[in-house]
Structure 1
Amino acid sequence: MPATGRENHTAPKAVYIHIPFCTNKCFYCDFNSYVLKDQPVMDYLRALDREMELTVRETPPGEIKTIFVGGGTPTVLNPQEMEFFLNSVKKNFPNWAEDIEFTMEANPGTTDRDKLAVMKAGGVNRVSFGVQAFQNELLSGIGRIHNTDDVYRSLENARNAGLDNLSIDLMFGLPNQTVEMLDYSVSKALELGLTHYSIYSLKVEENTLFHTLFQKNQLPLPSEEDELKMYQLLMDRMQAAGYKQYEISNFAKPGFESRHNMTYWRNEDYYGLGAGAHGYVNRRRHMNIKGVNPYVEAAMQKLPRLEQFSVPEAEAMEDFVMVGLRMLDGIRSADFAAQFGVSLEETFGRELHKMLSSGLLEEHEDRGGYRLTGKGVVFGNEVFAEFIGVLT
């Protein structure tokens, strides 16, 4: 009899940890982050250590395959704080896979040699730098504190520390950005010869400076037509340079895809630790308390949950399809059946047929499933929307 749902539960193999501090708040950022000045950093790191301890007591870890430290800007920690933090991770999650992927996000303005050496010694083997653009006027216009010189210096420092699995983030659709400016940034990025690039379009989120300006019609964004040209350009340039587009916004040399992010896109379990962090374990989602001091206070006593809830099977099925189709290899019918004990085609037959007929999806015969077509990649949101609320 086939297993349904997640009755054959295994311990999560992925860990997300949130460091909420940054040097300043970027104009587009709605992440749970706080300017570093006067923050109780060591109190936070001790509370984080306590949350890890309580978490592994409740759900013991197996072999950890990926760890991702995000923020905020984790690299605002000084070398002593960084060492304490990394020792804490290793103490609470001691069983690492031999080929573990341990990623830390970094700001090019906050990565000196001493800090990178501590990161390397503590097990970090992949660094993702938030570069965003290679024009200083664009960087200052979005509230970034670094300049292009910082980018080159930080990458050199990382390589000198023995860190060579490096990624950078770029953004398009920025205020006052032209197609030509993005082309220049992509050229400069490709000259670096890195293993991985994430390239995102700007989303104007609530509770940001950009949202306030947008509401006042004071945010000079590119036209929709130009934004589409930007996306097509970056896809063409990346492919021509030998990078595989393995997800809507992510490009990698073969074998250097972000395995941690693929945990999310495959709807698999992961621990979520730190202020405002989200976790997904045994089909239960949680979100932690967001504020630094309230988080610290709560975590010293119990798991610092703001909310937690079970995900109904129907919602988990929709998530599997919507998130999984972000990957250009798409979703496998066998994986859906293994996770839910029912047929993908029987569950979403009408929606799949409609997307196939419209040329936005195609059957992936090698993998026995479905993936976005070239047209579907460009209009991915239309595909994902087709599966929202179908079963719920």
Structure 2
Amino acid sequence: MKAAYIHIPFCEHICYYCDFNKFLLNGQPVDEYIDMLLKEMKMKISNAPKTELSTIFVGGGTPTALNEGQLQKLLEGIRAILPYNGEGEFTFEANPGETSEEKLKLLFDYGVNRLSFGVQSFNDRLLEKIGRSHRVKDVFSTLNKAQKVGFENISIDLMFGLPTQTIEDFQETLNIAMSLQLPHYSSYSLIIEPKTIFYHLMNKGKLPLPTEEVEADMYQLLMMEMDKHGLNQYEISNFALPGYESQHNLIYWNNEEYFGFGAGAHGYENGIRVANYGAVKKYINMLKDHALPILEQHVETKSEKMEEEMFLGLRKNEGVSISHFREKFHEDIIKLFASSIQEMERRGLLERHGDFIRLTREGRFLGNEVFEAFLLE
């Protein structure tokens, strides 16, 4: 186990597209939640005495929605309980405009060394349309504060395929994003998920989305702009200067194991996929009763592990290592997936490059279709 994901499910506002496990902050038992979150960490770590973590990622929700006292309690607990020596990657998600200089200094003082800001767009009209509470000026202000405190490893998220968004809108957002000269950018197309505000609007015919062709043009533009500015596309949606790739996310894409702490958190522990209860009160009450808040566990079969090795590994631009696959599963990837590989190569979506099988540039546009081809019967 090399990594830990910690979930803070509280937000000051709910974005229209978000389907993560989250709750409006007001009226929530936040202090009690933090107590039980730290208790869950202690319980799991006591059962894994030889564990050493190389990455910690605190996500949400909005982790920085916590007040300074709550944030300090969480940070103190993380550093006291988790077997992390402070030399790896320690990431916090944050929202522009909701993160004070005092909170940023607190994060920095407790060893957080990477920040991921949910910017989404540099267009105030679009930010309002997707339910974001910040505006463009807040992004500049928050980034200035973070850099003043001492943060260098900063990433921002951008979205495309938004309602009424044009290719010109996205070009403007990319121009501004590139002017910031940050070491890491993530950019995702909008996916309409059930139980979101956008899902209900779409069902009523009230969500004017760009066409698939325009969305593909936006993705093409994204890749061109990132490449032009020296940012390496190391995964379908992620771009970085050399040495600034997200080490935590690479653990997911390399299909390695990790702890999941918090309400609704998922983990992969000792070959078992684990999901916690999402409801905050259920999560708290189970831990009060000294029980781990596990909703479901799934022991993975060898076939499932091999499928996931392909789904996840093909997200990376380097692809899946043939030799590593053989070493890990004692199977020949070329024989095991012969028909799928041949078909995807014939269509120009997959290629072999030395020891790796990887998506072609064209394949990145149809990634999900390629991944499905590697489902074993």
TM-score (norm 1): 0.94
Correspondence for 1:311 among 296, 300, 312:
300
Compared CA separation, residues 61 and 44, structure 1 to 2 (3 A): farther
Aligned to 2:370: 383
- What pairs with 1:214-229 in structure 2 (closer than 5 Å)? 214-229=202-217
Match for residue 263 of structure 1? 251
1:77 partnered with 2:66:
yes
1:265, distance to aligned residue in structure 2 (A): 0.6
Per-residue deviation, 1:62: 2.4
For residues 160 and 223 of structure 2, the distance between their equivalents in structure 1, rounded to whole angstroms, comes to 12
Matched, 1:154 2:168: no
Q: How does 1:310-349 map to 2 (within 5 A)?
A: 310-349=299-338
Counterparts of 1:380 and 1:269, CA distance in 2: 23
Hey, what does 2:20 align to over in structure 1?
Answer: 31
> Matched residues in 2 for 1:299 and 1:140: separation?
38
- After TM superposition, list the pairs within 5 Å mapping 1:10-159 onto structure 2: 12-96=1-85, 98=87, 100-159=88-147
Which whole-Å deviations, capped at 9, do the CAs of 1:110-159 have from their partners, x for residues lacking one? 11110001100111000000000011110011110000111001101101
Aligned counterparts of 1:305 and 1:130: Cα–Cα separation in 2: 29
Contact 1:14 1:67 in 2 (8 A): yes
CA contact (8 A) 1:64 1:97 kept: no
Q: Distance in 1 between matches of 2:93 and 2:353?
A: 33
Contact 1:32 1:71 in 2 (8 A): yes
Encode CA deviations 1:288-311: one digit per residue, 9 max, x unaligned: 010111111112321110111201
The secondary structure found in structure 2 opposite 1:184 is helix
User: Matched residues, percent identical?
Assistant: 47
Contact 1:13–1:61, Cα closer than 8 Å, also in 2: no
Report which structure shows greater RCO (CA 8 Å, sep ≥6).
1
* Residue aligning to 1:359: 348
Matched, 1:194 2:182: yes
Question: CA–CA distance in 1 between the matches of 2:325 and 2:162?
Answer: 37
Among candidates 349, 359, 362, match of residue 372 of structure 1:
359
| Number of the residue aligned with 1:238 | 226
Deviation larger for 45-54 or 329-338: 329-338
Unaligned runs of 5+ in 1: 1-11
CA distance in 2, matches of 1:347, 1:86: 46
* Number of residue pairs matched by the alignment: 376
Q: Specify the alignment match of 1:3 in structure 2.
A: none
How much has 1:231 moved relative to structure 2? 0.5
Q: Cα offset for 1:183?
A: 0.3
How far apart are the structure 1 equivalents of 2:313 and 2:19?
24
| Residue 252 of structure 1: aligned partner | 240
Residues 138/85 of structure 1: CA separation in 2 closer, same or farther (3 Å cut): same
Instruction: Check conservation: 2:51, 2:83, Cα contact below 8 A.
Output: no
Letter aligned with residue 25 of structure 1: I
Letter in 1 for 2:284: V
Q: Distance in 2 between matches of 1:191 and 1:61?
A: 44
Cα deviation, residue 97, structure 1: 5.7
The answer to whether the 8 Å contact 1:61/1:93 transfers is no
In structure 2, C-alpha distance between the alignment counterparts of 1:200 and 1:369, rounded to whole Å: 25
For residues 286 and 370 of structure 1, the distance between their equivalents in structure 2, rounded to whole angstroms, comes to 29
TM-score, normalization by structure 2? 0.98
Query: Over the residues paired in the alignment, what is the CA RMSD in angstroms?
Result: 1.0
Task: Extract unaligned runs of 5+ from structure 2.
Answer: none
- How far the C-alpha of 1:247 sits from its partner, in A, is 0.5
Could you tell me whether the CA contact under 8 Å between 1:63 and 1:97 is conserved in 2?
no
Partners of 1:341 and 1:55 lie apart in 2 by 31
Counterparts of 1:61 and 1:89 in 2: how far apart (Å)?
A: 17
Aligned AA (2:243):
G
Compute the displacement of 1:61 (Å). Answer: 5.0
Amino acid at match of 2:356: G
- Indicate the SS of the match to 1:316: helix
Q: Tell me how far apart the structure 2 counterparts of residues 338 and 229 of structure 1 sit (CA, whole Å).
A: 39
Give the distance between the partners of 1:346 and 1:226, measured in 2 at CA: 38
Helix, strand or coil at the partner of 1:109: coil
Return 77-86 or 198-207, whichever deviates more.
77-86
Letter in 1 for 2:240: A
Q: Deviations over 1:51-102 (max 9, x none)?
A: 001111122352211110110000101111111101111111133263x110
* Secondary structure in structure 1 of the residue aligned to 2:106: helix
Contact 1:125 1:163 survives alignment (8 Å): yes
CA distance in structure 1 between the aligned counterparts of 2:215 and 2:254, rounded to whole angstroms: 28
Distance, in Å, in 2 between the alignment partners of 1:134 and 1:95 is 36
Q: Select between 190-199 and 339-348 the one with higher mean Cα deviation.
A: 339-348
Distance in 1 between residues matched to 2:72 and 2:86, nearest whole Å: 21
